């Protein structure tokens, strides 16, 4: 069957700039996709590139969309190269949404990890999120002096109530000595009574230092997670076969076709956390659906909070709404 294809780019400013190791991120840009059948049925998808994580750029995604004909069939999926993983995700989601009615499986905040701001602001932000129902929190490290961050982390750890979990995300910005410093401290907290739980350190070292991360994962009790190292499905497979037994943080919207990721996890169940790349409601729904499917595949692994506690970073704009027809009309 052939469908009418349309696409529209979007720009979505953050409520405040997001500090990352790559600099300040002020605007999320992406592409909304639309298919319409001869009967008038519509499906929507989203391309949300993250080039500093290894996906294609927005310009490359736009060029790919622009060269496509206005009439598409599912054969288009087989023409998308692995160098365009965000496009693979967006178009597979686009076609799959045609086959079903709109549905919204938003989970309660307890199922999500809330991203806290860096520095002192974290101490004034977590309580409101806790009262909303969040129980897992993520805090970036490796963006300031280690002595300052360690002091802030210790303060935050003991501020959080029992029952809370804390994830530390370095985005590959530590060296081995600093990573060991953090891991020594994290190990010291594991037996702390009446305190929060330190869940894992995410990507302590750059991807090229995988051998060292593997060694650290075997040396310390604190769990380690890969993130930048496993940006695409092929990278995930490579690290799996090299013996990684820790956590995999998967940004599904830039990892390639969801069906291929699901197939790999069915054959090789892994301890994973699906994480956001600050998608709109369209991409967000697709990843939540995938997370629920993966949880059913491997129920014996820890059911970790999804990395989707990101909504507070955006204003109350049209990109949150669940009526995707209206979202499209407002682009």
pLDDT, tens digit (0-9, with 9 covering 90-100), for 196-233: 789 999 999 999 999 999 999 999 999 999 999 999 99
Measured distance CA(161)–CA(51) in Å, rounded:
37
pLDDT band of residue 77 (cuts 50, 70, 90) is confident
pLDDT of residue 296: 82
User: Start-end ranges of CATH 3.30.390.10 in the chain?
Assistant: 3-104
Residues 288-310: pLDDT tens digits? 999 988 888 777 667 899 999 88
- Give CA–CA dist 14/313, Å, rounded: 6
Q: Tell me what the mean pLDDT of segment 146-173 comes to.
A: 94
Catalytic hit among 155, 251, 262, 326: 251
Q: Is the pLDDT of residue 285 over 70?
A: yes
Maximum Cα–Cα distance for the chain, whole Å? 63
CB 289 within 8 A of CB 105: yes
**pLDDT value for 273:** 94
- Band of residue 142 on the pLDDT scale cut at 50, 70, 90: very high
What tokens were used for 135?
Answer: 């129980």
Residue ranges, comma separated, of all CATH 3.20.20.120 domains in the chain are 109-313
- Tell me, what DSSP letter sits at residue 54? T
Q: Reply yes or no on domain 3-104 having CATH 1.10.4080.10.
A: no
What beta strand segments (E) does 37-73 contain? 42-47, 71-72
In this structure, the chain runs to a length of: 331
Q: How confident is the model at residue 15 (pLDDT cuts 50, 70, 90)?
A: very high
25-75 per-position pLDDT tens digit: 999 999 999 999 999 999 999 999 999 988 999 999 999 999 999 999 888
92: its two tokens: 């597979």
| pLDDT over 80 at 102, yes or no | no
- Residue 300: per-residue pLDDT: 66
Superfamily of domain 109-313: Enolase-like C-terminal domain (3.20.20.120)
Average confidence (pLDDT) over 148-171: 94
Query: Tokens 């695409």 label which residue?
Result: 232
Q: Tokens for 295?
A: 């949880």
Which pLDDT value is given to residue 104?
64
Exactly one of 34, 140, 215, 237 is catalytic; which is it?
140
**Mean pLDDT across the chain, nearest whole number?**
92
Any residues with CB less than 8 A from the CB of 242 and at least 6 apart, and which? Answer: 210, 214
**140 labelled catalytic:** yes
């Amino acid at each position: 069957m052939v469908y009418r294809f349309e696409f529209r780019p979007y720009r979505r400013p953050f409520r405040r700039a997001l500090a990352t190791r790559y600099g300040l991120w002020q605007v999320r840009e992406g592409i909304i996709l639309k298919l319409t059948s001869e009967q008038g049925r519509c499906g929507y998808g989203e391309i949300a590139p993250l080039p500093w994580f290894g996906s294609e750029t927005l310009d490359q995604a736009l060029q790919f969309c622009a060269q496509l004909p206005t009439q598409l069939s599912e054969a288009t999926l087989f023409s998308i190269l692995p160098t365009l993983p965000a496009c693979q995700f967006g178009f597979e989601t686009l076609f799959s949404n045609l086959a079903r009615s709109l549905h919204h499986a938003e989970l309660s905040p307890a199922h999500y990890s809330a991203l806290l701001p860096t520095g002192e602001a974290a101490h004034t932000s977590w309580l409101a999120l806790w009262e909303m129902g969040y129980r897992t929190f993520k805090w970036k490290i490796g963006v300031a002096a280690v002595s300052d961050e360690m002091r802030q982390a210790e303060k935050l750890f003991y501020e959080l109530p029992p029952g809370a979990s804390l994830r530390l995300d370095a985005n590959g910005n530590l060296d081995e000595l600093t990573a060991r410093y953090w891991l020594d401290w994290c190990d010291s907290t594991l037996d702390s009574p009446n305190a929060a739980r330190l869940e894992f350190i995410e990507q302590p070292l750059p991807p090229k230092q995988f051998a060292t991360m593997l060694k650290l994962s075997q040396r310390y009790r604190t769990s380690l997670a890969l993130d930048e190292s496993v940006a695409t499905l092929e990278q995930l497979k490579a690290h799996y076969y090299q013996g990684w037994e820790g956590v995999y943080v998967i940004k599904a919207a830039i990892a390639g076709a969801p069906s291929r990721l699901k197939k790999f996890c069915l054959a090789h169940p892994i301890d994973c956390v699906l994480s956001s790349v600050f998608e709109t409601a369209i991409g967000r729904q697709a990843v939540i659906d995938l997370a629920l499917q993966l949880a059913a595949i491997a129920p014996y692994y820890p059911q970790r909070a999804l990395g989707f506690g990101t909504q507070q970073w955006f204003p109350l704009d049209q990109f949150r709404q669940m009526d995707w027809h209206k979202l499209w009309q407002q682009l």
